[in-house]
């Protein structure tokens, strides 16, 4: 089973503040998932390339031309807090 | 007139012949939704006002001379992870409860161009994480064949609403079974496209390397009509393929004489429901009667599909769901003291259990020291699965197998098992990881699980990438010869 510290560490990386009961629950459940995938280690994958694109497309490019977004107001309306047309966030430093 | 009994081409004809108006159809289906939705909970949002305005625009268009687009004036519903400009799109998550997209997903924009009518946004597993519909923050969707049972997921509301004919068809999406499995459990036809056949732009992301927007409808004929409209390359989704979109609908043929259909041993697993096995075997025999050649094949790496997926999907999820930060849109906590707490508390309050479990799993397997052992290893085994399919399609044209090992389970079974989805979707995940197209079609009923209540069984046809036409043809041939797809639940 994963330790509480391990769960708290990944929760921190994932920016999830877990309640104490959630930490306990995920210690158990993440271990269940990791046990479930353990059999993959037995598969011989020598010389195989990882899959990065299933259909074989590579480096699809387009011209880098700026376009004007006409829906700035609708975009900003979804923000919990704005000030003077900017997103407002808490102090960073 | 019982408009819910007609297929899309018949609705097209009725609209073109002015036997019915789009407004009349829209009111008719809205009436069905209002009557049945309180019990089925298939919809998160019903867009009555917008639907009637779209129907009016369609009627105006139909009343001017000239040809009408294929789906013009025909109502439909969309899974709530398709962004719809001005209409809230929640992905069934509390974190997006108040989110009103400022833009349309490409698929929705294409349907708008056709002057279709959007009746509402359907319920689903939260962020499409699940195979039961139970992880939704808006309550579980019910299966119209037996409302004490799940409709499958994650396209649970789309499947349930099409099965009950609350709408003629619905948009869904599949990442690893999310169209085929619910289509199977509710007795409707579902199309999981080749990866990159349909644009993902504006479809709230789950696992970007397998996410495939598609559709659920009453027949394969209907699916072919829809596929023609929603497929195609999109400059806004660089993973869409440049291949031309064939005239799937007009090129449908029920002639499958000589077609080689592979029957993979590994898809008839231990513990599979007896009634499912029986119906699927009978369905396959029907294909043989129609002139197809059956070939027994083996895909030994099938058993690793769900294991690969249990690593790859959470990895991509943990990355895709990092954007929900309480700053630009979505739920924000009222309790934060500093910026870090804005992120971590907003996310803890906004995400449900399944989303958190997948974010944490993904973060773990991608973190320093574990990446090679988990993620890289999984992507190599995925290569084995891709190669195996490539080899088998040198021998056969398509594969036929059960869409799901079981019929609809009772509600409440999924939420406690962290592995539920990976096991429920084990017959869909390998082909999803390989980007293959497939349809699931109703092929009979099973009473093995239920006390005499017949529950639908699905047969899936999978083909090589971009072979939609072949897959549709097999399904079409089957539905020309049988009428399982015409059976309706009694409501």
- The sign one gets for the Cα dihedral B18, B22, B27, B28 is positive
For the stretch B280-289, pLDDT in tens is 999 999 999 9
Residue A14: give its domain's CATH number: 1.10.20
| Over residues B120-139, mean pLDDT | 96
Mean of the per-residue pLDDT values of chain A: 93
Q: How far apart are CA B404 and CA B459, in angstroms?
A: 8
- What tokens does B364 get? 């773990």
A45 min Cα distance to partner chain B (Å): 6
For the stretch B89-123, pLDDT in tens is 999 999 999 999 999 999 999 999 999 999 999 99
Among A16, A32, A34, the residue with its CB nearest the CB of B348 is: A16
Question: Nearest chain A Cα to B368, which residue?
Answer: A10
Residue A22 domain flag: yes
- Asked if B327's CB is within 8 angstroms of A87's CB, the reply is yes
- Asked if A36's CB is within 8 angstroms of B419's CB, the reply is yes
| Over residues A34-45, mean pLDDT | 96
Q: How far apart are CA B183 and CA B50, in angstroms?
A: 27
Q: Are strands B169-174 and B212-217 parallel, antiparallel or unpaired?
A: antiparallel
Rounded to the nearest 10°, the torsion over CA A68, A71, A77, A79 is -40
Q: How far apart are CA A4 and CA A30, in angstroms?
A: 11
pLDDT at res. B422: 85
Question: Best interface-test mutation with B: which of A17, A21, A44 has the largest number of B CBs within 10 A?
Answer: A17
Residue A66 domain flag: no
Residues of A in contact with B198 (CB under 8 A): none
Confidence category of residue B401, pLDDT binned at 50, 70, 90: very high
Helix%, strand%, coil% for chain B, nearest 5: 40, 15, 45
Query: Over pLDDT 90: what percentage of chain B?
Result: 95
Residue A90 domain flag: no
| Over residues B359-371, mean pLDDT | 95
Among A7, A55, A91, the residue with its CB nearest the CB of B195 is: A55
- What tokens does A8 get? 């708290």
Residue A30 domain flag: yes
- Which residues are paired to B189 by β-bridges? B217
Q: How far apart are CA A24 and CA B287, in angstroms?
A: 51
The alpha helices in chain A, defined as continuous H runs, are: 4-13, 20-37, 72-77
Q: How far apart are CA B188 and CA B180, in angstroms?
A: 9
CB-based contact, B402 to chain A, within 8 Å: no
Q: Is B455:B146 a contact under the CB 8 Å cutoff?
A: yes
Residue A88 domain flag: no
For the stretch B297-317, pLDDT in tens is 999 999 999 999 999 999 999
Among A30, A50, A79, the residue with its CB nearest the CB of B361 is: A30
pLDDT at res. B423: 86
- Asked if B435's CB is within 8 angstroms of A54's CB, the reply is yes
CB-based contact, B422 to chain A, within 8 Å: yes
| A91: Cα within 13 Å, side-chain hemisphere | 2
Q: State the helix-helix crossing angle for B22-40 and B48-62, rounded to 10 degrees.
A: 160
pLDDT at res. B176: 96
Residue A84 domain flag: no
Q: Which domain holds residue A20?
A: 4-41
Rg for chain A (alpha carbons), in Å?
Answer: 22
Q: State the helix-helix crossing angle for A20-37 and B305-320, rounded to 10 degrees.
A: 140
Count Cβ atoms below 10 Å from residue B64 Cβ, excluding itself.
Answer: 7
Phi first, then psi: what are they for B275, rounded to 5°? -60, -30
pTM for this predicted structure: 0.97
- Count how many domains chain A has: 1
- Asked if B194's CB is within 8 angstroms of A71's CB, the reply is no
Region of residue B270 (left: phi > 0; alpha: psi -120 to 50; beta: else):
beta
Q: What is the largest CA-CA distance in chain A?
A: 58
CA of residue A2 relative to chain centroid, distance: 20
CB-based contact, B338 to chain A, within 8 Å: yes
- The sign one gets for the Cα dihedral B321, B323, B326, B329 is negative
Q: How far apart are CA B196 and CA B423, in angstroms?
A: 26
Q: Residue B397 pLDDT > 90, yes or no? A: yes
Q: Residue B416 pLDDT > 80, yes or no? A: no
- Asked if B329's CB is within 8 angstroms of A78's CB, the reply is yes
Q: How far apart are CA B381 and CA A44, in angstroms?
A: 8
pLDDT at res. B452: 83
Among B241, B359, B380, the residue with its CB nearest the CB of A14 is: B359
Question: Best interface-test mutation with B: which of A35, A43, A71 has the largest number of B CBs within 10 A?
Answer: A43
B207 min Cα distance to partner chain A (Å): 13
Residues of B in contact with A36 (CB under 8 A): 307, 310, 419, 422
Q: Are strands B438-446 and B455-462 parallel, antiparallel or unpaired?
A: antiparallel
Among B85, B100, B383, the residue with its CB nearest the CB of A51 is: B383
Count of A–B CB contacts within 8 Å?
Answer: 167
CB-based contact, B320 to chain A, within 8 Å: no
- The sign one gets for the Cα dihedral B179, B183, B186, B189 is positive
CA of residue A83 relative to chain centroid, distance: 28
Where in the sequence numbering do the catalytic residues of B fall? 79, 154, 178
Vertex B205 angle, CA B199 and B208, to 5° = 70
CB-based contact, B329 to chain A, within 8 Å: yes
pLDDT at res. B96: 98
- Asked if B383's CB is within 8 angstroms of A36's CB, the reply is no
Residue A8 domain flag: yes
Name the one residue in this structure whose structure tokens are 């809205």: B30
For the stretch B232-275, pLDDT in tens is 999 999 999 999 999 999 999 999 999 999 999 999 998 899 99
- Tell me the three-class secondary structure of B94-109, residue by residue: HHHCCCCCCCCCHHHH
Vertex B245 angle, CA B471 and B101, to 5° = 100
Output b/e per residue, A10-22; b: 16+ Cβ within 10 A: bbebbbbbbeeeb
Question: Nearest chain B Cα to A43, which residue?
Answer: B381
Residues of A in contact with B330 (CB under 8 A): 78
Q: How far apart are CA B84 and CA B78, in angstroms?
A: 9
Residue A36 domain flag: yes
């Amino acid at each position: 089973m994963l330790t509480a510290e391990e769960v708290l560490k990944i929760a921190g990386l994932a920016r999830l503040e877990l309640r104490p009961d959630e930490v306990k629950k995920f210690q158990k459940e993440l271990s269940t998932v990791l046990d479930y995938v353990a059999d993959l280690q037995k598969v011989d994958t020598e010389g195989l390339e990882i899959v990065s694109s299933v259909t074989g497309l590579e480096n699809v490019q387009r011209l880098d031309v700026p376009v004007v977004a006409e829906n700035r107001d609708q975009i900003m309306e979804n923000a919990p807090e704005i000030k003077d047309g900017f997103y407002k966030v808490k102090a960073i430093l | 007139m019982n408009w819910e009994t007609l297929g899309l081409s018949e609705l097209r004809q009725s609209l073109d012949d002015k036997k019915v108006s789009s407004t009349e159809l829209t009111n008719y289906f809205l009436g069905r939704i209002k009557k049945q939705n309180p019990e089925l909970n298939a919809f998160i949002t019903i867009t009555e006002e917008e639907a009637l305005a779209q129907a009016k625009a369609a009627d105006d268009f139909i009343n001017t001379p000239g040809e009408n687009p294929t789906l013009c004036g025909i109502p439909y519903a969309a899974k709530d992870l398709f962004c719809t400009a001005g209409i809230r799109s929640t992905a069934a998550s509390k974190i997006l409860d108040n989110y009103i997209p400022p833009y349309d997903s490409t698929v929705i924009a294409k349907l708008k161009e056709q002057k279709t009518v959007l009746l509402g946004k359907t319920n689903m597993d939260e962020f499409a994480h699940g195979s039961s519909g139970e992880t939704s923050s808006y309550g579980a969707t019910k299966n119209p064949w037996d409302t004490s049972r799940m409709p499958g997921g994650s396209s649970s509301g789309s499947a349930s609403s099409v099965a009950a004919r609350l709408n003629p068809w619905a948009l869904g999406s599949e990442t690893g079974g999310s169209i085929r499995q619910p289509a199977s459990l509710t007795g409707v036809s579902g199309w999981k496209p080749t990866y990159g056949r349909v644009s993902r732009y504006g479809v709230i992301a789950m696992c970007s390397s397998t996410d495939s927007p598609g559709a659920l409808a009453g027949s394969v004929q209907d699916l072919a009509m829809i596929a023609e409209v929603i497929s195609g390359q999109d400059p806004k989704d660089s993973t869409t393929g440049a291949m031309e979109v064939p005239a799937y609908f007009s090129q449908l043929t029920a002639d499958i004489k000589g077609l080689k259909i592979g029957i993979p041993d590994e898809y008839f697993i231990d513990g599979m429901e007896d009634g499912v096995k029986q119906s699927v075997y009978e369905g396959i025999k029907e294909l043989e009667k129609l002139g197809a050649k059956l070939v027994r094949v083996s895909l030994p790496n099938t058993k690793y599909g769900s294991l690969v997926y249990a690593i790859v999907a959470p990895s991509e999820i943990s990355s895709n769901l990092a954007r929900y930060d309480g700053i630009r849109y979505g739920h924000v906590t009222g309790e934060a003291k500093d910026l870090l707490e804005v992120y971590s508390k907003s996310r803890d309050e906004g995400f449900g259990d399944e989303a958190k479990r997948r974010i944490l799993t993904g973060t773990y397997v991608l973190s320093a020291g574990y990446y090679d052992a988990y993620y890289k290893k999984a992507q190599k085994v995925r290569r084995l699965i891709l190669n195996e399919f490539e080899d088998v399609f040198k021998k056969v044209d398509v594969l036929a197998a059960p869409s799901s090992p079981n019929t609809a389970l009772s509600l409440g079974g999924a939420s406690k098992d962290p592995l539920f989805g990976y096991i429920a979707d084990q017959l869909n995940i390998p082909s999803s990881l390989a980007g293959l197209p497939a349809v699931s079609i109703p092929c009979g009923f099973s009473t093995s699980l239920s006390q005499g209540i017949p529950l639908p069984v699905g047969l899936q046809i999978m083909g090589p990438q971009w072979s939609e036409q072949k897959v549709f043809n097999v399904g079409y041939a089957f539905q020309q010869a049988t009428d399982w797809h015409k059976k309706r639940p009694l409501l």
